[in-house]
Amino acid sequence: MQSKLKFNKIAIIGLGLIGSSIALAIKKHKIAKSVSGYAKSLKTRQIAKKIKLASKVESSLEAAVKNADLIIICTPLSSYKKIFKSIKLHLKDGVIITDVGSAKTKSMQEAQSILGDKIEFIPAHPIAGTEKSGPESGFAELFINRWCIITPFNISKKKNVNLIKKLWEKLGSSVEIMTPQHHDRVLAITSHLPHLIAYNIVNTAADLETVTKSDVIKYSASGFRDFTRIASSDPTMWRDIFISNKEAVLEMIGRFSEDLSVLQKAVRWNDEDTLFKIFSETRKIRKKIIAAGQDIDADDFGRVKKNLK
């Protein structure tokens, strides 16, 4: 369709952290002749215009997708149905629709039931982000050296899947292709459960009436602060992820709770061997993550030395 990965018009629906980062990266790499950006909120559109995220910032979905040959949906999962319905009759022939959502199975069912088999929806999920939200938090380098997972339909055209693959490679990512079911299980354990647990522990600490909130904040460097980072991620986005990937998330909560009961019992009964064994095994996983280049080896994520200023 396009040689040298050049699109005439790319529409980016949603201009939060991921949408704005994609917009900036597309601009940087000159991947499209024009980029239209859509955001529901006036404030987001105003910021997007001010920082020149797109050639044109639209307040109507229909205008944004008109004549686009690539549409990238970067909004919370609960908005997909409405978006599919709104754009369905305004699509250019041969358009490819993709997304960046953190859960795949349910949104792919929605896409298929609304858009049908003839419109190409090639779902993608860049494993990248920060705890920040909004159009001003994006940056073009966000996807460099990160993974992006594509979960095509069985009927997806191979050349279109390849095009999305090339797009993400151009943005700096390595691409893996897998089924939506496998994606949703992998992400449930690597991303969704950790976020739910982080939200939960911060919530537990905030509710503790005999220990003041100021104590919790003051002594947070002893472990707690690590959890507050991911527990400050976008509430709407995460509400939608848990509900969209409900089945896998509930399974992981079940497994986590079982394991926690084992630890709880070991603490209660002074079962030193069980505690030591589990704590030694977990240490090995960190080493593997660092060896795989998925985290830095600096003490305390490199923060300790930053405290010295």
CA distances from 74 to 12, 13, 231 (A): 7, 6, 20
Determine the size of the site formed for a copy of itself (CB under 8 A): 112
Q: Which of residues 87-126 bind a copy of itself (CB under 8 A)?
A: 102
Are the C-beta atoms of 15 and 46 separated by less than 8 Å? no
Strands 96-99 and 120-122: parallel
Q: Which of residues 251-270 bind a copy of itself (CB under 8 A)?
A: 252-253, 255-257, 259-260, 263-264, 267-268, 270
Q: Which of 128, 163, 164, 167 binds a copy of itself (CB under 8 A)?
A: 128
Residue 87 burial by CB count (10 A; 0-12/13-18/19+): exposed, middle or buried?
Answer: buried
Q: Which of residues 7-66 bind a copy of itself (CB under 8 A)?
A: none
User: In the numeric block, which tokens belong to residue 282?
Assistant: 């977990």
Instruction: Give whichever of 115 and 134 is closer to a copy of itself, judged by the CB atom.
Output: 134
Instruction: Give whichever of 62 and 131 is closer to a copy of itself, judged by the CB atom.
Output: 131
- Per-residue burial over 276-303, b if 16 or more Cβ lie within 10 Å, else e, is eeeeeeeeeeeeeeeeeeeeeeeeeeee
Are the C-beta atoms of 244 and 107 separated by less than 8 Å? yes
- Per-residue burial over 118-129, b if 16 or more Cβ lie within 10 Å, else e, is ebbbbbbbbbbb
Residue 246 contacts a copy of itself per CB under 8 A? yes
Q: Which of 46, 116, 131, 179 binds a copy of itself (CB under 8 A)?
A: 131
Closest CA to 54 of 33, 83, 80: 33
> What is the distance between the alpha carbons of residues 25 and 138, in angstroms, rounded to a whole number?
10
Q: Which of 137, 153, 156, 157 binds a copy of itself (CB under 8 A)?
A: 137
* Closest CB 262 distance from a copy of itself, rounded Å: 9
* Closest CB 158 distance from a copy of itself, rounded Å: 24
Closest CA to 128 of 71, 78, 168: 168
Angle between helix 246-268 and 180-187 (nearest 10): 30
Instruction: Give whichever of 8 and 181 is closer to a copy of itself, judged by the CB atom.
Output: 181
Q: Which of residues 143-202 bind a copy of itself (CB under 8 A)?
A: 144-147, 149, 176, 182, 185-187, 189-202
Instruction: Give whichever of 9 and 195 is closer to a copy of itself, judged by the CB atom.
Output: 195
> What is the distance between the alpha carbons of residues 246 and 34, in angstroms, rounded to a whole number?
37
Q: Which of residues 203-222 bind a copy of itself (CB under 8 A)?
A: 203-208, 210-211, 213, 215-222
Stretch that binds a copy of itself, among 39-47, 61-69, 81-89, 296-304 (CB under 8 A): 296-304
Please state the φ and ψ torsions of residue 171, each to the nearest 5 degrees: -80, -5
Instruction: Give whichever of 4 and 268 is closer to a copy of itself, judged by the CB atom.
Output: 268
Instruction: Give whichever of 87 and 188 is closer to a copy of itself, judged by the CB atom.
Output: 188
- Element holding 137 (H helix, E strand): none
Instruction: Give whichever of 1 and 289 is closer to a copy of itself, judged by the CB atom.
Output: 289
Closest CA to 128 of 146, 113, 114: 146
* Closest CB 269 distance from a copy of itself, rounded Å: 10
* Closest CB 47 distance from a copy of itself, rounded Å: 18
Instruction: Give whichever of 146 and 157 is closer to a copy of itself, judged by the CB atom.
Output: 146
Q: Which of residues 225-244 bind a copy of itself (CB under 8 A)?
A: 225-233, 235-236, 238-239, 242-243
* Closest CB 108 distance from a copy of itself, rounded Å: 19
